[in-house]
Chain A
Amino acid sequence: MKERRQKTPDIRKSYESWKRNKYAKALAACAAPQAFTTVSGRKIKELYTPADLTGFDFFRDLNFPGEYPFTRGIHPTMHRGRLWTMRQFSGFGTAEDTNRRYKYLLAHGQTGLSVAFHLPTLMGVDSDHPLAKGEVGKCGVAIDSLADMEVLFSGLPLDKVTTSMTINAPAAVLWAMYIAVAEKQGVSPKVISGTIQNDILKEYIAQKTFVFPPRPSMKLIVDTFEYGAQEVPRWNTISISGYHIREAGATAVQELAFTLRDGIEYVAWGLERGLKIDEFAPRLSYFFNSHNDFFEEIAKFRAARKIWAEVMRTRFGARHPRSWWLRFHTQTSGVSLVAQQPYNNVVRVAIQALAAVLGGTQSLHTNSLDETYALPSEDAVTIALRTQQILAHESGVGNTIDPLGGSYFIEALTGEMEEEAKSYIRKIDDMGGMVRAIELGFPQKEIADSAYWYQKAVDAKDKIVVGVNAFEMEHEPIPLLEIDEAVARQQLARLRAVKKDRPQAAVKRTLSDLKKAARDDENLMPYLLKCVKAYATLGEIMDGLKDVYGEYEEPVTF
């Protein structure tokens, strides 16, 4: 980072004298040989003073909540006006199983839905595909066609509840199914609200549930921006995600930088299509990880808002303040949870959730204590939800806005992370953008290096993980949610029934129209809607698109 040496010589001098004469001497007498670094390896000083904030300007760097550059939050009221949405990511087994869990969560005070699909759906194959063997209903809910989606949301009024769907390569198809379910409920697409993750770049970078090559994938995403702006105006057509980048091993700054650079890439592609910035930018949303290092995470969220506001206003010339807002969902860090003494995970989650709240999140998922083993049990997910409710209603942290704003440490850290992230962003600009950087393997390599660094630090006990490399003890196994193979049998039976009973001619016609539209480079959303309404399956639709777009093969490196 660049040192900011200009004014405040008195404090700087006094600080240096204090450090030399008092601190260093006293420290020498302590048995504290540890390196004071964050979970990302960032060095943290012993003390922060105004000397670390030379040149800091209240209005330029901080300003009021709801005022550019939104460092303190995008809304003037923040959590006083409205608490964050408590949105637990959830899905398992059949659509019936998950529908029951949703009703349970809503009945216990959850305020929004978040759908976890099983891996075959994420990969755009049906439950009867050979690659789906052993996977049906395991990591999420099995959705093969509109028939499953109708069950998933039965009894849940889509004009009342907002839904986030974690779906990427086939996002446009699942979104079409959701819109179709809403129409069947008599709810207009104009009033439904929610989010599709729809962020393919981080799939190539980190989570790896890609299907098509990057360029046609980007085309499909821009189709959703364009269609959403016209037809589903309250829908967030993308959730630009740092979560998975972090989980794959990125440092906090890498998460921040790669995610925002992904955002820049999506905006650039939207503009290329001829979309008007202020028409689609307000529907872009973000999704970050909240990891263990409390202050570094809070600084990351604040820096993210500040950088994005500047990017949108200065780089892209957006005029509408809503286009400058970085609205974000947060999930606590899955990878930070440990299998050993799993009840301790409740504490980790609480600390991470607190960081997200203090960082000004709009919605939050708290992980369950048993997620290093399996999808969460009902008891475990209840504790996770209660953790948020305790933060919201007992801790008092929402009483004032951006309570850590003005802390020498937090402001210095926010500035430092901003500078470092911008330097990464410039580097990727110089490569020709994120699609190009991915083709060159740049972010993938940076993340793999960080992941390996961290593992070595844990192996060497430079980083302590309680219960793993220190304070170990035996623990009793905990009760887990089990998905048995009966789920696969039920799902395959429904898939067979759907394929038998649907209007076959319409399926054929809509699928062939879709392929033609893909070849002609039309916006595919209207065609996808027709396919799903005819009960064409996800696998059939994706196979048709694979014929046109091809499939992505990742270069194998480690």
Chain B
Amino acid sequence: MPEKKIRVLIAKPGLDGHDRGAKVICRALRDAGMEVIYTGLRRTPEEIVSAAIQEDADLIGLSILSGAHPILFPRIIKLLKEKGAEDIPVIAGGIIPEKDIGRMKKAGIQEIFLPGTSTRDIVQWILGHIEKGQKKR
């Protein structure tokens, strides 16, 4: 059987168009042997959750720089639960003040990568935490 690759959905919620980080992460994960699906800009929580389910993602990576994360992140987690997809882990990066990190993690975001994080560290984190096809569904 061919080895199954880790499938990552990189998503951009929020209204900002700053996609440099998201695109760099997409390329770095692809170069690390993962399958990467990028949503493009300005996706609503509903669109992101339904894309993750449809694409059978092993992981969702959110990138946001607009400051709307306190509203949008918990909403994405809530929708995942409602759709029975809470087994898809969610990580995030972008402009997220340190004081918000605890709150976001409590809401269900597994890890938050701040500006300056090496792409290698993100790849390592994913390899250490995500098993291919680990989802129960």
Contact = CB atoms under 8 A, between A and B. Distances in A.
Contacts of B42: 123, 131
The residue among B10, B15, B24, B95 with the most chain A CB atoms within 10 A of its own CB is B15
B98 interface: yes
A131 B41 CA distance: 12
Contacts of A138: 66-68
B118 A458 contact: yes
Interface residues of B, number: 38
A558 B15 contact: no
A135 B118 contact: no
A130 B71 CA distance: 12
A120 B15 CA distance: 7
B44 A249 contact: no
A299 interface: no
A139 interface: yes
Interface residues of A, number: 44
Contact of B116 (A131, A135, A340, A477): A340
Interface string A118-129: 011011000000
A374 interface: yes
Nearest to A133: B71
Contact of B44 (A130, A208, A465, A556): A130
Interface in B30-70: 36, 38-42, 44, 66-70
Interface in B81-137: 95, 97-99, 114-116, 118-120
A452 to B, nearest CB: 5
A76 B44 CA distance: 53
A556 B97 contact: no
A192 B22 CA distance: 41
Contacts of A134: 14, 66-72
Interface string A177-217: 00000000000000000000000000100011100000000
Nearest to B36: A558
Interface in B1-46: 10, 14-20, 22-24, 26-28, 36, 38-42, 44
Nearest to B119: A459
Nearest to B121: A459
A558 B23 contact: yes
Query: Which of A134, A340, A373, A469 has the largest count of B CB atoms less than 10 A from its CB?
Result: A134
A249 B20 contact: yes
Among A451, A477, A556, A558, the one with the most B-chain Cβ atoms within 10 Å of its Cβ is A558
B97 A139 contact: no
A506 to B, nearest CB: 30
Interface in A315-337: 335
A451 B23 contact: yes
A139 B115 contact: no
Task: Identify the interface centre among A122, A452, A556: most chain B CB within 10 Å of its CB.
Answer: A452
Interface in A438-470: 448, 451-452, 455-456, 458-459, 465, 467-469
A208 B95 contact: no
Contact of B95 (A207, A372, A554): A372
A122 B44 CA distance: 17
Contacts of A458: 118
A480 interface: yes
A119 B23 contact: no
Nearest to A247: B20
Contact of B118 (A120, A203, A335, A459): A459
Contacts of B14: 119, 134-135
Given A139-B67, A374-B95, A558-B36, A469 B20 contact: no
Given A123-B15, A134-B72, A207-B17, A139 B26 contact: no
A83 interface: no
A558 B38 contact: yes
Contacts of B120: 459
A135 B20 CA distance: 20
A338 B38 CA distance: 26
A435 interface: no
Given A469-B116, A556-B38, 8 more contacts: A130-B44, A131-B44, A203-B17, A208-B18, A247-B20, A373-B97, A452-B28, A468-B116
7 contacts: A131-B15, A134-B71, A135-B67, A459-B118, A477-B99, A556-B38, A557-B38
Interface of B: 10, 14-20, 22-24, 26-28, 36, 38-42, 44, 66-72, 95, 97-99, 114-116, 118-120
Ranked nearest first, the 4 interchain pairs of A and B with the lowest CB-CB distance are A208-B17, A134-B71, A134-B68, A138-B67
